[in-house]
Amino acid sequence: MPYPSSPFAENINGLILENQSKHKTNNENEKIQNELYLKELLGWLCTSPQLTSIRVNKSAFKLEDIRKLVEKIVDKGKVEVHPNFPDLLLLHHPDKASCPHLVKESNEVVVDVNGATAILRGAHVFAPGVIGMLQGAKVNDRVSIFADIEGKCKKGFATVYQSPGKLFIANGTIKMNREQLFGLNLVPSGIAIEVTERISHCPSINESLFPVGSTLLQNIPSVICVHALKVRPELTILDMCAAPGNKTTHISTLMQHKGILVAVDKTPSKVKRLEETCRRYGANALVFQADATKILVTDGHDADVSRGPPFQTETFDRILLDVPCSALGKRPQLSSRVTEAVLKSYVPLQRKLFHTAVPLLKKDGYLVYSTCTITLAENEAMVAWALRTFGDLRLVKPDPTLGGPGLFGTTLSETERLYVQRFGPNNVDSVGFFYALFIKV
């Protein structure tokens, strides 16, 4: 099949630009500009980034040592330090013109969409993601890997899969045979196919190849939004929806593991992962299991932050509000089955979190609101709602401003639209992401 031009169903494409608010503008020219951007954005989401970003834990490791290690692990591709962020390494993937053309093998396996996107970002094929493998395929056989875009291939398929929704993505070597993958009552695990070449030309690299706690493969905008928070060692900072802890550990590093950093998440399993991440990267954080919409108290509750939530008003100098969202900014995406109901379920929760966050923030304190999604409702429209709802919030222009301007269609002024940071096809080669920096006056 041809490479997809959008990962979403047609009805979802239309909802991405929906405001979900009565406060909107109806300028026809602005609508056209949004629609042109959306078309470019959808195609971009289907493609793979041409670089891998690696955040280095500089509080415990030397950047230059990690840079040399990356060069040793990856035989092709340029490695450089990000010009604005000295804790971020950029591994540029080999130029397509310098890579040999991938030749399809006679043997094949079929993988699910989630496995396919992981492969395009540098992963090998893990056993649960294998849907079909030819009868008679043996360990160490060379094989071509196809993605089942439509999700119609049945588990254990044993012949050549004929489907218009079948997409060639990589070649590799079989490490587990059919009996190990599809046997009765089996729950297979481990690497089933070792990928040797990908159409994305992304190298195989992961955190296990580096010293424990030294590196974190993190998308560029996720690093940028933490730097935007204006972290200092002496501050009291809240990470409201903190799991899995990647941004929490970054904040702690920028604080030089001093001050007070509180990290909150609701789900026990996520809190456990958050704690594990903090331990691995040596983060100095107070981790609490709590519903972040219910951590504010306005009576005479104990003001000692170390005792955990609820917290009094104006407790924190900085707040990172990295909200649960529809997560439509993942890249690459080949096929998404997100529904309209799910897509519309996040705005009410995001507003509740704002109603908690703003009172918790001290005067002259900064708040970063961020999402890993692309919808107007969860991004620009949410910022516009927050400015209308909280009279003591103002948008601040981040430094540096590496994202693009926000979309049209909300009550944001032109200056405010330029202050919000939308990441997409025209700026940073990473994922779809959004953040806004507020100050409380």
* Binding site members for S-adenosyl-L-methionine: 241-247, 265, 299, 322
3 state SS of 417: helix
Cis preceding-peptide flag for 244 (omega within 30 of 0): yes
Question: Cα–Cα distance between 380 and 386 in angstroms, integer?
Answer: 10
Q: Which of 153, 225, 278, 372 is catalytic?
A: 372
Q: Any idea what DSSP says for residue 237? A: E
How far is the CA of 132 from the CAs of 73, 110, 137, 142, 172, in angstroms?
31, 5, 11, 15, 15
In this structure, are residues 82 and 90 in contact, taking their beta carbons and an 8 Å threshold?
Answer: yes
**Is 202 designated active site?**
no
Residue ranges for the known binding site are: 241-247, 265, 299, 322
Neighbours of 36 (CB within 10 A): 10
Question: Cα–Cα distance between 189 and 192 in angstroms, integer?
Answer: 8
Handedness of CA 205, 210, 215, 216 (dihedral sign): positive
Question: Cα–Cα distance between 319 and 254 in angstroms, integer?
Answer: 14
Specify which residues 437 forms β-bridges with.
Answer: 368, 396
Neighbours of 46 (CB within 10 A): 18
Which residue in the block uniquely carries the two structure tokens 């080999």? 94
Question: Cα–Cα distance between 319 and 190 in angstroms, integer?
Answer: 39
Neighbours of 385 (CB within 10 A): 21
Phi, psi (degrees; rounded to nearest 5) at 259? 60, -155
Q: Which residues are catalytic?
A: 372
